[in-house]
Amino acid sequence: MTDSNTPQYDASSIQQISAMDVIRMRPGMYVGGRDTTGLHNYLFAALDFMIDEALDDRCRHIWVTLRPDNEVIFRNDSLELVLKVSRYPREDESVLEMLLQYMFCRAIPCDSYRVRGGVHGVGLPAATALSAEMTIETAQEGYLWRKTYAIGWPTSDLQKIRPASEDEHGVTFILRPDYTIFDPNPVSYEVLAQRCREVAYQVRGLCFTLRDETCNPPREEIFCPTDGLKTWVTDLNEGQPVLHEPIHIAEDVVLEYRVGSPFTIKVEFACQFTDSTESHILNYVN
């Protein structure tokens, strides 16, 4: 016997929830929360895409600009973009749209992106879903293209804006956080600077230009160390009585699978001892 007050469960009870809705409903799972940490992890979802491009030798410079109203612009100089405006083989959408809107899309062959930044490797969809407004611009096939989003959903088609100049290339993300999701914390220049500084040391040959346009006059910093971790160790020990020159090792380690092709892991290590009671031990893995 069924209680008439018991909710009935049938096929009509099934709801399909989009990836964008999932991220917005549970931001803690994808960016770590709604607080200032989650806010900056959301921004790093877009920045990490560009860092991944640098790890794959696709770009050498990233520009980060903090603007009023917590708007942040990320731009790089990538020549060989994975965010292509050409149509995806199995869908009526471009590769650019697929990678912005669907979780866990990947480049084929997957060797191109063995390393991915962001929480759980979700990547760009976290930035798309949690933006009150988001604009993507890319120069490809001789034109500047633009696509806009709001709260995870497209607000325009992929548009051909104008002819691109010969030296115009790369991709630009313009993001403004959705404060109906995040707590009302401002974007921190210092947090952005720390992230840019650390990544510049870790990814040899990658430079960052960080600009703050929320103050008058604007301030700007360039992070472009010459020798990666070796430079970082030297900078950390500045003013300390060092005992020797920095020890620096950078190797490509080839790992063999029982099944499938081998792949390479990049390992870098640097250290320098000082005549001091204080120590700095930092480690990173991706």
What's the CATH code of the domain at 63?
3.30.565.10
In a domain, residue 66? The reply is yes
In a domain, residue 95? The reply is yes
- What range defines the domain where residue 90 resides? 19-223
Both 105 and 76 in one domain: the answer is: yes
In a domain, residue 12? The reply is no
> What gap in Å lies between CA 200 and CA 238, rounded to an integer?
18
Quote the percentage of the chain above a pLDDT of 70. 88
Asked if 104 and 118 touch (Cβ cutoff 8 Å), the reply is no
Both 134 and 257 in one domain: the answer is: no
In a domain, residue 115? The reply is yes
Both 75 and 133 in one domain: the answer is: yes
Structure tokens, 285: 């893995």
In a domain, residue 2? The reply is no
In a domain, residue 35? The reply is yes
Both 104 and 181 in one domain: the answer is: yes
In a domain, residue 284? The reply is no
Both 217 and 246 in one domain: the answer is: no
Quote the percentage of the chain above a pLDDT of 90. 55
> What gap in Å lies between CA 217 and CA 58, rounded to an integer?
33
Structure tokens, 221: 């910093």
> What gap in Å lies between CA 251 and CA 52, rounded to an integer?
19
In a domain, residue 4? The reply is no
Both 233 and 191 in one domain: the answer is: no
Both 85 and 210 in one domain: the answer is: yes
- What's the pTM value of the predicted model, to 2 decimals? 0.85
| 260-281 pLDDT tens trace | 788 888 888 999 999 988 888 8
Per-residue pLDDT band for 105 (boundaries 50, 70, 90) equals low
Domain count across the chain:
2
State residue 126's pLDDT score. 94
Q: What is the mean pLDDT of the chain?
A: 87
Q: Which of 223, 238, 262 is the last residue of a domain?
A: 223
Cis peptide before 109 (omega within 30 of 0): yes
Both 98 and 233 in one domain: the answer is: no
Pick from 186, 210, 181: which is nearest to 69 by CA? Answer: 186
